[in-house]
Amino acid sequence: MTAGTSAAAAELARRRHSPLQRVQHLLHGYPWISPLVILVLTMVVFTIVNPRFSNPSALSLLIQQTAVIACLAIGQTLIILTAGIDLSVGAIVILSMMVMAKLAVENGVPAPLALLIGIALGVGAGALNGLLVTRVNLPPFIVTLGTLSIFTAIALLYSGSKSFQNNELPDLLNWTGTSFPVGPFRLTVGVVIVLVLYAIVGFALSQTAWGQHVYAVGDDPEAARLAGIASKRVLLSVYVVAGLVYGIGAWVLIGRAGAASPNAITDANLQSITAVVIGGTSLFGGRGRLIGTLIGALIVQAFYVGLSLARVDQQYRLLAVGVLVIVAVAIDQWIRKVKS
Amino acid sequence: MQPSSNLSAPRTTARRALVAVAAGTLVLGAAACGSSSDTGSGGGTGGAAAGGDTVGIALITKDSTNPFFVAMQKGAQAEAAKNNVDLTIASGAKDGDEQGQVQAIENAIAAGDKGILITPNGPGVNASIKKARDAGLFVIALDTPPDPADTVDITFATDNFKAGELIGQWANKTLAGKKATIALLDLFNDKVVSVDYNRDQGFLTGMGIDTKDKQKNGDEDKTGTYAGGDYAIACNEPTQGSEDGGRTAMENCLTNTPDINVVYTINEPAAVGAYNALKAAGKEKNAIIVSVDGGCAGVKSVKDGIIGATAQQYPLKMATLGMEAIAKIARGGEKPTTSEGLDFFNTGVALVTDKPVDGVESITSDAASKICWG
């Protein structure tokens, strides 16, 4: 078969589909396209309303403000890809963060060690969630609902609800907040760390056997098991990796907030889930791209900044985000009906 | 006049809620047990306890995570023995949890306590407070007056409007006639709470700006004149009373109005966040930051030059004075009365700054650090 005939065949196949079906197919193959379109539209509209919105300095802030939630949403994406959900993400981050800070400030632990212990705690917390899901066979919703309380309680008991400000913290813990110019933009070390995490986890998901297994387990754990995939081990690994990401997210948060405070990121759980859902990842597992999550997180923050610059009541942001969530899930359902 | 720090976390999360529920249940359980034995031994008399007798008192805070309430609980616990008070501590599951407080009130009545100290989470507890008072308990609201205020016997609280006024007066004098470009970093914009508007509107009043409706943030003219010169209000942004919220809010304000030189913040964590945003933009020297709370971390921020001035409040005093008042009444003493010109008992507020100005009384950060909470 020559290239010519196969192209003709493809052309013929395309003609058999209506334009709508073609969109459906396109979105099926690239689920992050719809959030990208929404992000671009959002930015265009807000720029028209207030041109300051697309100033390099404003865009730099938008990226910095999104970094923490975008980071946590990496772990959330992994778990949602396996048809799970993580309600304990905020609690794990706070716990990791308070441990890092308190060890370094009050117990005189060297900063690198305090950081590593904090991140390790994130990994351990993720592993606990994963073990409860895979070994005790509890639903992820219930497991993380329980550990949400447990981790929060431990963090508050351990820290005594006390916060540590950046002038008390060692430089290493504050390092993620250091900013530097990139052309007209200003990024922070934390932003770079988050982007690197996206690159690494995105690569692992799309290019490695582990990534294929994550999708397979999310799509149909039983079929994956029959295909010879160690479903439970894959599932456990997903929670462990998510815990690692949360631990690193705690470090990024310290730099961003300029403090380690148990009152930080009060809406992390819902915000990370929102970013994942708007980013086109299916709550039913097995479908979605990590890049979509990053776009989803940016959309939510763009609404916040844009409405603030437009001096519009912030309640419209809630309204808009709510509509976007519903639309995103509706599109997901529609795409799933695609005829292969 | 809610606590400030509530400021820290009113939008508390589900995670906290759950924790608090769990903790609350334990506390309540313990309270119930303790109380039944109480009524067994001393109770049954129904009348006021004789002098020196142990007096049962329940302290019911909004939550048990906010450092402001934690300070209150610890302060009360430390003083309980001194007054021969059998203190039961309970709280809502989180800020806004009325049902948890209702149960705690019912437990206090059942336990035969002589009085209740409560920071009410909302009007949903009013009916239970009335039940308690009908049962002969003396009920004192701490920090947050209920609506209507006469739901309780008396309120012991910070005058948050006065707290705002003090930092406004200080900002006015410090500007010395320069044009004021003001960022107002509030607590919320999705719900109306008294501490939020009292501090914000008090601050503007202290600056000499007409606030129009004193119970509404953001309805004042965006430009005009304050006591010393011209002003422009750059923004009203919510912070949730946290460092990260304060930072994001300040960043958004600066994007629209780069030349902000006066920053009002609802509490000290928000102030620290605002400072970090200014610093990242290289503008920390251009702006003065004022705040309210007087927590130990905030007082240190004043000493470090991050916050120009803060108004300090005294949660421990609310709890200990409230406890003493109930103990006194239970032993046949006088009831406390409201402060002159106010509908509550004012537990005081002091301006803390290391750059004092003429005509506004203040204390130094060193002095404040000896009496700070948290």
In this predicted structure, the answer to whether residue A207 has a pLDDT above a threshold of 60 is yes
Chain mean pLDDT for chain B: 86
Between A88-92, A115-119, A246-250, B4-8, the lowest mean confidence (pLDDT) is in B4-8
Residue of B nearest to A304 (CA): B252
Does some domain include residue A123? yes
CA distance A66 to A15: 42
| Residue A4: band (very low, low, confident or very high) from pLDDT cuts 50, 70, 90 | low
Q: Are A268 and A93 in contact (CB under 8 A)?
A: yes
Q: What total number of domains does chain A contain?
A: 1
Instruction: Give the C-alpha distances (Å, rounded to integers) separating B22 from A57, A94, B85, B122.
Output: 45, 19, 26, 21
CA distance B213 to B226: 17
pLDDT in tens, B90-108: 998 877 788 899 999 999 9
Residue type present at position B22: A
Does some domain include residue A262? yes
Q: Which domains does chain B have, with CATH numbers?
A: 5-158+316-336 (3.40.50.2300), 160-312+349-369 (3.40.50.2300)
CA distance B294 to A78: 43
Q: Do B272 and A258 touch (CB under 8 A)?
A: yes
Does some domain include residue A73? yes
CA distance B198 to A135: 53
Does some domain include residue A203? yes
B353 min Cα distance to partner chain A (Å): 19
Q: How many CA atoms, within 13 angstroms, populate the side-chain half-sphere of residue B34? A: 17
What CATH number should be reported for the domain holding residue A214?
A: 1.10.3470
pLDDT of residue B29: 39
CA distance B17 to A114: 29
Token pair, residue B184, equals: 């107002």
pLDDT in tens, A154-178: 998 898 878 888 889 999 999 999 9
Does B8 contact A at CB distance below 8 Å? yes
Q: Which of A160, A167, A269 is the closest to B304 by Cβ?
A: A167
Token pair, residue B275, equals: 């400072």
Does some domain include residue A121? yes
> pTM value?
0.80
| Residue A108: band (very low, low, confident or very high) from pLDDT cuts 50, 70, 90 | very high
How many CB contacts within 8 angstroms connect chain A with chain B? Answer: 128
Does B13 contact A at CB distance below 8 Å? yes
The separation between the first and the last C-alpha atoms of chain B, rounded to the nearest angstrom, is 18
Does some domain include residue A245? yes
A98 min Cα distance to partner chain B (Å): 14
Question: Among candidates A138, A46, A51, which has minimal Cα distance to A88?
Answer: A138
More confident residue, A303 or A205: A205
pLDDT of residue A274: 94
B243 min Cα distance to partner chain A (Å): 6
Between A121-130, A295-304, B17-26, B331-340, the lowest mean confidence (pLDDT) is in B17-26
Q: Do B189 and A314 touch (CB under 8 A)?
A: yes
In this predicted structure, the answer to whether residue B5 has a pLDDT above a threshold of 80 is no
DSSP code string of B246-279: HHHHHHHHHHH-TT--EEEESSHHHHHHHHHHHH
pLDDT of residue A263: 80
pLDDT in tens, B192-206: 788 899 999 999 999
Cis peptide leading into B145, omega within 30 of 0? no
Q: Enumerate the β-bridge partners of residue B142.
A: B156
Does B256 contact A at CB distance below 8 Å? yes
Q: Do B252 and A314 touch (CB under 8 A)?
A: no
Does some domain include residue A14? no
Contacts of B301 in chain A (CB under 8 A): 165
pLDDT of residue B34: 35
Share of chain B above pLDDT 90, in %: 69
A259 min Cα distance to partner chain B (Å): 7
Does some domain include residue A101? yes
Chain mean pLDDT for chain A: 90
Give the best residue of A129, A154, A263, A309 to mutate against chain B (max B CB count within 10 A): A263
Q: Which of A50, A90, A163 is the closest to B13 by Cβ?
A: A90
Q: Do B22 and A149 touch (CB under 8 A)?
A: yes
CA distance A239 to A236: 5
DSSP A107: S
Structural domain that includes position A168: 32-333
The arithmetic mean of pLDDT across residues B308-327, rounded, is 94
Centre a 10 Å sphere on the Cβ of residue A319 and count the other Cβ atoms it contains: 12
CA dihedral A328, A330, A336, A337 (to 10 degrees): -150
| Residue A1: band (very low, low, confident or very high) from pLDDT cuts 50, 70, 90 | very low
pLDDT in tens, B204-235: 999 999 999 999 999 999 999 999 999 999 99
Give rounded-to-5 percent helix, strand, coil for chain B.
Answer: 45, 20, 40
